[in-house]
Amino acid sequence: MARSDLLLSLVSAGAAGDQQKVRTATEALIAEERAKNHNILADKIEKALSSVPVSSSALLKSKRVSGEDKEAVLEIEPQIQLDQLMLTLPAYESGRQLIEEHVRADVLRSHGYEPRHRVLLSGPPGNGKTSFAEAIAEALAVPFFLVRYDALIGSYLGETNTRLRRLFDYVRTRPCVLFFDEFDAIGKERGDTHETGEIKRVVSFLLMQLDQLPSYVVTIAATNHAELLDKAVWRRFQMRIGFPAPSNSQVKGFLENITSHWPNKPKVSMATISRTLNSSSFSEVRDFCQNVRRRQILGLGELSVDESLRIELDLWKSRIVPRDIDGDGFEQTPLEGRSR
């Protein structure tokens, strides 16, 4: 049985003669039934909608989903939970609010509101943007779709827009979380004189498609270079959440959480390690801890966790890092003592 809020929305839209709302509510109803594997009923509703001249809809133009329609997305089974992430309070509260709005969407719709469904995440790499998007999908129990740019960006005129259309046609058929990583790759500033006219057309088309997505498709875009995004792109996103680099205290807490699951707790303090790993992302800290455990495991009991830590810390201090100045190349320098 369809949700009561969708039926009420459909009836009220029909009574008011709101064609756009009729189409949106009906598409939400179709997606709801397909999510329950009620494909026969969904097909009948889709056929009924296509026989009525409501408005043009990408959903009606594509009766069946083909492999070509979904080639630009990679479906990942969400496993990460929001409470497992090390987030700033604003990011955590924003995520919790977003989940509540979709879980209780019927309450919002009964008052004439839709849950927010376009979210922009901004911050340096390795600090939880992708994990945050996956956690939202896990909490809502919907598919998590990661956009594949290699299958989306075409080399011929108009090819990228065609693939974008197929992508949006596919994702709007069911409730899901659609995640664009490195969003600045296709959402660039149209005023940039170095960009071609093709990129500008892609951005314009992308904005139009984002506007037309129904609220049951949660679109999350992440970028490491927010300054490169087109100004109109910012306006499309109802929630904008920052993911800054972690402080030393946050790294210390992250280390304590990871090492608490180790069979042997290190003697060296986590505060000391966090100072050595200064200016690191959460991803880098996790990789460091995994390297310590790998070295200890392969030592077959002859290497203590503290000795393994000492070796990895020495290697960390001499690792290759990107230069902090403009230009090409890399420099090999200890990370400790570098300015943030």
pLDDT in tens, the chain (340 residues): 456 666 766 676 666 656 667 777 787 778 777 777 777 887 777 777 765 544 334 333 334 445 555 677 889 999 999 998 989 999 999 999 999 999 999 999 989 899 999 999 999 999 999 999 999 999 999 999 998 887 777 766 577 788 888 888 889 888 999 999 988 877 766 555 555 566 778 888 888 888 889 999 999 999 998 888 888 888 889 999 999 999 888 999 999 999 999 998 899 999 999 988 887 899 999 999 999 999 999 988 888 999 999 999 999 888 776 654 444 444 444 444 443 3
Name the β-bridge partners of 223: 122
Cα-based angle 140, 221, 235 (whole degrees, multiple of 5): 110
- Which pLDDT score, from 0 to 100, does residue 24 have? 76
Name the β-bridge partners of 75: 145
- Which pLDDT score, from 0 to 100, does residue 334 have? 44
Please give the Cα distance from 134 to 271 (Å, whole number): 30
**Three-class secondary structure of residue 144 per DSSP:** strand
C-beta of residue 136 within 8 angstroms of C-beta of residue 175 = no
DSSP one-letter code for 84: G
C-beta of residue 125 within 8 angstroms of C-beta of residue 281 = yes
Residue from 236, 235, 239, 232 nearest 213 by CA: 236
Q: Looking at beta carbons, which pairs linking 292-296 to residues 24 or more positions away fall under 8 Å?
A: 293/262
For 244, the token pair is 């800054």
- Would you say how long the chain is, in residues? 340
Give Cβ neighbours of residue 127 (< 8 Å, ≥ 6 apart). Answer: 243, 244, 245, 246, 281, 282, 283
Please give the Cα distance from 144 to 240 (Å, whole number): 20
Q: Looking at beta carbons, which pairs linking 271-275 to residues 24 or more positions away fall under 8 Å?
A: 273/309, 273/313, 274/248, 274/249, 275/248, 275/336
For 269, the token pair is 């303090």
For 127, the token pair is 């600090």
Which amino acid type is present at position 132?
F
Ramachandran angles phi, psi of 3, nearest 5°? -65, 145
Neighbours of 34 (CB within 10 A): 19
For 186, the token pair is 């296709």
Does the CA dihedral 325-331-333-336 come out positive or negative?
positive
From residue 298, give the alpha-carbon distance in Å to each of 267, 287, 291, 303: 20, 16, 11, 9
